[in-house]
Chain A
């Protein structure tokens, strides 16, 4: 009964989110995000149908749609990066390099793991592969949030909602897949209720933040700082060196 309530609750929330997105024209501003919601709605309806009328196929459908949703979710991460840093070319450049470094590190780790245990890909459970993919997604979001914090990037209400909702969902997925992987049936039972309920909370975050259009704060000074970076960086380096000698003076003796 509870699982049915959660299931129908998420379908209703997704429909409401799409209707509001259509009415406020947010669909055209955040196309990747709404594409993701359309996909999740389709996925929920398909799963509901298969669960009731083709139960033997449910497991297969569940995991295959989960994989597709990870790839569609990557587009949401890219949209957060693209829209959030549109007015900040410097921070955008840093984010590109940081994400590239992160994906390279993930690739190296995956190759190293496979080299250590060549049978891993053949023997790994679906949950293990999915957890690894969600971890890369979580790390990308984590790196982006750190960058937003470091450069004090301020977001509008809509984009902030997309980031919070999707970030909460990915963090919840990583934790859920970790417990699913441990195989303890008591935990699995508990998490099988908590995970969809967690997703419903994320949907509520999205509905709350995307109820109406709120523009992102725009920077008006971008052109002023073009081609001046070397000078600014040199000045900062000089000031930090001053700070170090100031500290050294006190404790160095």
Chain B
């Protein structure tokens, strides 16, 4: 179970050939209180880098891109009632959607946890 990170602050956690996608703790802290998340419909095919979801906070709206290609197999419906989970537990209960990875090799092009931590340091 490895987690990969993008420069646009999405993560994808590989569980077999399934990828759990969400936004990072750094992303939620920059956005502030999340008030709404718009998720892709289950069954939608996403290409890596394609716009997949939208997250709105009290001060901004941001697009969430697919960190890897695949088909959306499950979305986190709890977020429609409790968007604050994105702030409270971004990498746990605040996940966005799960995809069936069609090109797992794409993950190798993403950052691992250490690389992402270093990357975030360069931003502040």
- Our verdict on whether A and B bind, yes or no, reads no
User: Which B residues lie at the A interface, using CB under 8 A?
Assistant: none
User: Which A residues lie at the B interface, using CB under 8 A?
Assistant: none
